[in-house]
Amino acid sequence: MLVKGKKTLFQDFYFFETLTGMIITLKEFFFGTKVTISYPEERRQYSERLRGQHYIKATNGVENCTACMLCPTVCPSECIHIEAGERQDKEKYPKTFEIDILRCCFCGMCEEACPKDAIKLSTIMEMSTSYRPIYDRAFLSEQRGNK
Amino acid sequence: MTALEWYVTAGKIGLVIGLLMTVAPIMNWVERRGAAIIQNRVGPNRIGPFGIFQAIPDAIKFLFKEDSIPGHVNGFYYFIAPIIVLIPACMTFAVIPFGDPITIMGQTFKMQTADLNVGFLYIFAMASLGVYGLIIGGWASNNKFALLGSMRSSSQMISYELSLGLSVIGLVMVFSTVELGPMVQKQADVMWQLGPIAIPRWGIFIQPLGCLIFVIASFAEANRLPFDLPEGEPEIVGFHVEYGSMKFATFMMGEYMNMAVASGLIATLYFGGYQMLPGMGTLLDSLQLSPAAYMWSKLALQNISLAFKVGLFMWLFVWVRWTVPRFRYDQLMDLGWKMLFPLALLNVFITAVMIYLGWV
Ligand code: SF4
Ligand code: SF4
């Protein structure tokens, strides 16, 4: 919509308005503080509760997961795939545990649903790759985080 | 011409062309870095100290990109349009003097690539040739948006060329010459003596209004913001939509060279050209050099002064670019025809009256 307001002659010439603006930009040039950072060298402090790359928590070298299938059920993106098996000590365990990370929306529902405190979302958020990654059990068993 | 004259001429041409060619990459960096700092960002800072060599990977990228020519364009005109933009921009700088005449082996050489007696009329002629590049580029692209972009540019250039030409007429009336060399020499005279500070007869002090109009109109001539309607990178489609890789880079180089020429003209016409900056003359006299050394160091100081002034105006271009948003098309035409054109006429009138009364 074109709003036609009354303008004075000075405003019509734009000159003084431009000068005022130029003084503002010059101030920013000399005294402005940077709002961006040089990313890989400097990093921002993120929240401890950031939901990032998954891992399966282990106790004494054995993963907590009992393949109860609660997380694949609750996952809204349906990106967790588990095949259950039986361990030597008659415990149920996930034979395969895969997360199609490109489908994951990092909602954290799996973490909340897990009764065994097994699946966790760490604070790692640099996950870009040049291929389509499926996180398998070996990868997820790496302990990366303090949750 | 003797051998010496050939050498000197070749040297001058090499200097001017070489400087103009380096202006584009350097200004590219200044512009991006300056924009970043004004907008509170960091900007390109990876390659070289402060990212100053950023232009080198840029150029390599442009050179090695696929030079695809769309199937629907007119091949010949599509090819020559960037060249037509670039060449007048290179040629225009020829008449801008960059030092007092010097004497080598009894021969006097003017520090000006081409000493034409038509002076800056040549510059206006060359500057208006640049618009053909834009029009041909838009037309050959065979794309209606590109064509509309080049139509915008041509009407803009014609509108602002009038004010540009008229604003200089005041200066011609005062100095009664169109040649840039004598004009710069006349600007060295002292206008007023305020105690120890001498106010020189620089164009800005004689023709403040004319200077303002000239600066604004040269922004429009160089297609810079706030008047960059011909290209309009962010939102409106410009004349070079169909161009890519090095052809596009050539258009950009032409733009930066136009900027350099405009800055050179502003410095030469209104800010004393190569006249030394305050303090430099005193410094030179206090050194007590032999005549030859005096001549050369004077030339060097004059070149530095001109480079400093030109650099200042280049920075002005960048600074304004990141301050003022683009004009709407009707605002652009209003400003050109309803404000600048009458003001330029008024300036001619006032100058005539002042000369009649003997004030300048
Ligand atoms: S974070 Fe959400 S989407 Fe990702 S695996 Fe867990 S439940 Fe599924
Ligand atoms: S909810 Fe926990 S215990 Fe159950 S399958 Fe998932 S990770 Fe394993």
CA distance B112 to chain A (A): 34
Determine, yes or no, domain membership for A49: no
pTM comes to 0.82
Cβ-proximal residues to B45 (8 Å cutoff; 6+ apart), any chain: A38, B33, B51
Q: Is the pLDDT of residue B287 over 80?
A: no
Query: Which residue CA neighbors atom 2 of ligand 2 most closely?
Result: A114
Out of A29, A37, A38, name the one closest to residue B38 (CB).
A29
CB A32 within 8 A of CB B40: yes
The pLDDT confidence band at residue A13, using thresholds 50, 70 and 90, is low
For B228, other C-beta atoms within 10 Å of its C-beta total: 22
What backbone phi and psi angles, to 5 degrees, belong to B305?
Answer: -60, -45
Which residues on adjacent β-strands are paired with residue A53? none
Q: Domain limits of chain B? A: 3-357
CA distance A53 to chain B (A): 29
Q: Is the pLDDT of residue A18 over 90?
A: no
Residues B318-330, mean pLDDT to the nearest whole number: 86
Total of domains in chain A: 1
Asked if A29 lies within 8 A of B37 by C-beta distance, the reply is yes
* CATH at residue A93: 3.30.70.3270
Determine, yes or no, domain membership for A44: no
The pLDDT confidence band at residue A106, using thresholds 50, 70 and 90, is very high
- Chain A contacts of B37, Cβ < 8 Å? 28-29, 32
Determine, yes or no, domain membership for A131: yes
Q: For chain B, which residues lie within 8 Å of any Cβ of chain A, measuring from their own Cβ? A: 34, 37-42, 45, 212, 319-320, 322-324, 335, 339
Determine, yes or no, domain membership for A82: yes
What are the tens digits of pLDDT across the range B88-141? 888 888 888 887 877 777 777 777 777 778 877 888 888 778 788 888 888 888
Model ipTM over 0.85? no
3-state secondary structure of A1: coil
Determine, yes or no, domain membership for A37: no
Q: Does A33 touch chain B (CB under 8 A)?
A: yes
Please tell me if the CB atom of residue A122 comes closer than 6 angstroms to any atom of ligand 2: no
Q: What range defines the domain where residue A137 resides?
A: 54-142
Task: Write down the pLDDT at residue A2.
Answer: 64
Please tell me if the CB atom of residue A113 comes closer than 6 angstroms to any atom of ligand 1: no
Determine, yes or no, domain membership for A14: no
Determine, yes or no, domain membership for A85: yes
∠ CA A32-A38-A44, nearest 5°, is 90
Determine, yes or no, domain membership for A107: yes
Out of A15, A25, A33, name the one closest to residue B319 (CB).
A25
